[in-house]
Structure 1
Amino acid sequence: MEATSTRLLMPMMEAGQAQKERTHNEALAMLDLAVQAVVRGIGTQTPPADPATGDAWIVGDAPQGAWTGHAGMLAGWTDGGWRFVATRPGWRVWDAGQQMVATRTAAGWENGVVRAARVVIDGTPVVGAQRPAIADPAAGDTVDAPARTAIMAILEALRTHGMIAR
């Protein structure tokens, strides 16, 4: 059985191995595919008929043709044909078709979802954890309809953006 690296499963050279350049070149081809990965699509089931060298896809859950048996893997077209790299939760790729980052989770690929504890822009916190719900304004002794309408619009915007609970 061929020895491989732990995380990327790159082929390892063995002492006294003949044609070490083949193992080395295979590892470089796989690194070129996996590091700073850019894919043309996610969940694609069938390999394209005429891929360009360097093109890559995330294989769907029911692959066909040359991709059979490689569900969920990163598939890249090289001068030597298709190369496949197994992905793990936490990996990110740039989805060129959708123009957004996709992240591999335990459940599969999540496209365009940003997960963070807070958002800071130019040193200013702009979004943090969701705050508790705020009650809608209720009738009082003095009712100011335009103010009430404005407050309701603000509350709805904050709820829609998930900044306060409903």
Structure 2
Amino acid sequence: MTTTTRFALPLLHAGQAQKEMFHNEAVAGIDVLLHPEVEAVGIDAPPAAPEPGQAWIVGTAPSGEWAGHANEIACWTDGGWRFAVPRPGTAVWAESLAQPVRYRAGTGWQIGVISASRVEVDGVQVIGARGEAVATPTGSAIVDEQARTAIAGILDALRAHGLIGSAEL
């Protein structure tokens, strides 16, 4: 085995010549992937004057020095471009979007999508699976228009946030 299983970082071998080169390549790869942050997502052409440590998510039709590295993370280092092939679940922060970006096999990079079965704040569930539809109140012997307006507003807000479905009337 000459590379690590997950991120293909180069491994040292006993008696290997120029170990520092392989070690430095591994460290450069770790530097790209440890708490990754990218400047932008889906860029096909390398920037003209990148700074060491800056990274981008390469687009689907890369050109120039990025050709052949579609959907990979490209990081500029003192030694030139380094590329990291994303694994399913790879998450990065996109500074230009101020949002998380996550790689999913078969669909590619998803911007700002967070998948969860529930959301908790201080150990208390505040959002769970979508509930059943709640019918908007209509008709009765005594009509309280203000209450009906308030309830309809609450239901509209819950529907807009995706917490409940829409009731078919």
Distance 1:147 1:100 in 2: 39
State the TM-score, normalized to the length of structure 1. Answer: 0.95
State the TM-score, normalized to the length of structure 2. Answer: 0.94
Q: Which residue of 2 aligns with 1:103?
A: 102
Q: Which residue of 1 aligns with 2:114?
A: 114
Distance 2:86 2:114 in 1: 19
Q: Which residue identity is paired with 1:77? A: W
- Range with bigger deviation, 64-73 or 122-131: 122-131
SS of match in other structure, 2:81: strand
Distance 2:15 2:34 in 1: 29
- Range with bigger deviation, 139-148 or 39-48: 139-148
Q: Which residue of 2 aligns with 1:33?
A: 32
Distance 1:83 1:15 in 2: 25
| CA apart distance, 1:154 | 0.5
What is the 5 A alignment of 1:20-99? 20-99=19-98
Distance 1:61 1:14 in 2: 36
Give CA-to-partner distance per residue, 1:120-156, whole Å, 9 cap, x none.
Answer: 1123321111100011111111111111111111001
| 1:163 correspondence with 2:163 | yes
Q: Which residue of 1 aligns with 2:131?
A: 131
Distance 1:95 1:56 in 2: 10
- Range with bigger deviation, 40-49 or 113-122: 113-122
| CA apart distance, 1:16 | 2.2
CA RMSD of superposed structures (Å): 1.1
Distance 1:90 1:144 in 2: 51
Structure 2 portions without partners, runs of 5+:
none
Identity %: 49
Distance 2:154 2:138 in 1: 15
| CA apart distance, 1:43 | 0.5
Distance 1:165 1:152 in 2: 14
Give CA-to-partner distance per residue, 1:62-116, whole Å, 9 cap, x none.
Answer: 0010000000101000000000010011010011111121111120111111211
* Dislocated runs of 4+, deviation >3 Å: none
